Amino acid sequence: MWKRSKPEKMGPPDWILVSATFSLIALGLMMVYSSSYDLGYREFGDAGFFFKRQLVWLAIGTAAILVASRMHYRHWMKLSVPLMAAVLLTLGALIFFQEGRLLIGQSVSPVEPAKLAMVIYLAHWLASKPGEQLRRLPYGLLPFAIIVGAVTGLVVAQPDLSEALVIVLISLAMFFLAGADLIQFAFAIVGGSAAFALVITRLPHAMERLQPYLAELRDPLHSGNLQLSQGIIALGSGGILGMGPGSGRMKYQWLPAAHTDSIFAIMGEELGLIGCLIFIGLLALLAYRGLRISDQAPDSFGRLLAIGVTCWIAFQALINMAVVTGTMPFTGIALPFVSVGGSSLVTCMLAVGITISVSRAANGARSEAGIRQRSSNVESGTVR
């Protein structure tokens, strides 16, 4: 008669990862209020409008991280295909009905859960492929390119090039770390870069972002687009220690998207270089713990999940900061845990919750291995 297997013991979570995550969220809440109270008062007559809304999303995200961290991460294997199907249908429906990039009163971005679904699906798909099979073209690069191409194609059609870039970078990192053949990986990079360059030159939306960026680099005072210049002025105005929380000036209609895409510039203005370095340090700590958890994961699926989530948060933050500092053309992408935006905050917290579940499973496995070792020592008489 079939017997139900004994559930695996779950150990304590990675408290360093938990602390880094909620420290980033706390810093984000402070910056949300500081960067948005002027806009909230002008648009809605309530200086705390965006802050209060972010608190609601934080409550939802806290519930999500608690549930995900207590649920065994292997349950997500059963949900990988339904989640990917739901994402493809939603993104396709947005294009078909021409609803734009946002849903539910222009407050929820379906691309955010698409990134999480992509991580879960790729982790499941890659973990199911033995190393030798993954290195063969019909089982490795070809289906990988079809999967990634389908999702990024729908995201580009929104149009949303920056989020498509994040998805491609996450996917390539997972494909490489899963054990892909180096030649195939090189072809994937070259092919992806060529496709991305083609899209940029052919898509009007991309050229609308690229041409003003190049014009502002050549002549900041007469380009007619001061997004980059104002962001750099904000960063430079903060100096070492910053002007102080709430004391910045660029949020008063000088810097577009001060509470969302350009919030890192407000952070630099008000908290200075020290504040930015604290944020980057917390982000680096989160990334380090994520990679450490992936190294200690009990199986390939858990390892790839932790890698995917870590790369997602790190890449997205780096792209946002690159945009604000003028390293990349302006793109609408949120700074994880900091920018105003419910779908970004909740999805990132859910993703961290899944990573915490992987850490709990790894800690539980080590604990059980230690107990078995001590029992074996007692039985053999080595421990008295």
Output the pLDDT for position 209.
Answer: 67
Q: Are the CB atoms for 305 and 120 separated by under 8 Å?
A: yes
- Tell me the pLDDT tens digit for each residue of 22-76: 999 999 999 999 999 999 999 999 999 999 999 999 999 999 999 999 999 999 9
Q: State the residue range of the domain holding 207.
A: 15-226+248-264+274-366
Output the pLDDT for position 1.
Answer: 32
Q: Are the CB atoms for 346 and 61 separated by under 8 Å?
A: yes
**324-336 average pLDDT score:** 84
Output the pLDDT for position 3.
Answer: 38
Identify which of 151, 141, 145, 149 has the alpha carbon closest to the alpha carbon of residue 115: 151
Q: Is residue 311 part of a domain?
A: yes
Q: Is residue 51 part of a domain?
A: yes
Of 132-136, 164-168, 241-245, 307-311, where does the model show the most confidence?
Answer: 307-311
* More reliable by pLDDT, 94 or 346: 346
The verdict on pTM exceeding 0.75 is yes
**Neighbouring residues of 295: CB distance < 8 A, sequence distance ≥ 6:** 303
Given a cut of 60, whether residue 223 has pLDDT beyond it is no
Instruction: Please give the tally of structural domains in the chain.
Output: 1
User: Which tokens belong to 130?
Assistant: 């033995």
Output the pLDDT for position 382.
Answer: 55
- Tell me the pLDDT tens digit for each residue of 295-307: 999 999 999 999 9
H helices of 71-203, in order, are 75-96, 111-127, 131-134, 141-156, 161-177, 182-202
Percent of the chain whose pLDDT exceeds 70:
84
Q: Is residue 81 part of a domain?
A: yes
**Neighbouring residues of 104: CB distance < 8 A, sequence distance ≥ 6:** none
Q: Is residue 372 part of a domain?
A: no
**296-321 average pLDDT score:** 95
Output the pLDDT for position 383.
Answer: 47
CA distance to 24, 77, 176, per residue, from 179 (Å) = 32, 20, 6
Work out the pLDDT band at 9, boundaries 50, 70, 90: confident
Output the pLDDT for position 116.
Answer: 95
User: Which tokens belong to 163?
Assistant: 């989020």
Distance CA 72, CA 178 (A): 21
Q: What is the DSSP track for 234-283? A: HHHHTTTT-S-TT--STTTTTSTTTTTTTHHHHHHHHHHHHHHHHHHHHH
Given a cut of 70, whether residue 169 has pLDDT beyond it is yes
Output the pLDDT for position 295.
Answer: 94
Distance CA 162, CA 318 (A): 12
**338-359 average pLDDT score:** 94
- Tell me the pLDDT tens digit for each residue of 270-294: 999 999 999 999 999 999 999 999 9
User: Which DSSP letter does residue 108 get?
Assistant: B
Q: Is residue 236 part of a domain?
A: no
Distance CA 170, CA 312 (A): 6
Q: Is residue 9 part of a domain?
A: no
CA atoms within 13 A on the CB side of 84: 18
- Tell me the pLDDT tens digit for each residue of 78-113: 999 999 999 999 888 888 776 555 655 455 778 899
Using CA atoms of 250, 253, 254, 255 in order, give the dihedral in degrees to the nearest 10: 80
Given a cut of 90, whether residue 191 has pLDDT beyond it is no
Q: Is residue 120 part of a domain?
A: yes
H or E, element range at 305: helix 300-324
State whether the Cα torsion 128-131-133-139 is positive or negative.
Answer: positive
**Neighbouring residues of 259: CB distance < 8 A, sequence distance ≥ 6:** 32, 35, 36, 39, 50, 251, 266, 339, 340
**Neighbouring residues of 66: CB distance < 8 A, sequence distance ≥ 6:** 353
Output the pLDDT for position 181.
Answer: 80
One-letter identity of residue 254: W
Given a cut of 60, whether residue 136 has pLDDT beyond it is yes
Backbone angles phi, psi at 108, to 5 degrees: -125, 125
Output the pLDDT for position 202.
Answer: 73
Terminal alpha carbon distance of the chain: 40
Q: Is residue 334 part of a domain?
A: yes
Work out the pLDDT band at 5, boundaries 50, 70, 90: very low
**249-260 average pLDDT score:** 87
Percent of the chain whose pLDDT exceeds 90:
52
**132-149 average pLDDT score:** 84
Given a cut of 70, whether residue 7 has pLDDT beyond it is no
Cβ neighbours of 208 (radius 10 Å): 12
**223-250 average pLDDT score:** 84
Residues in the chain: 384
Output the pLDDT for position 371.
Answer: 60
Output the pLDDT for position 173.
Answer: 93
Backbone angles phi, psi at 103, to 5 degrees: -125, 170
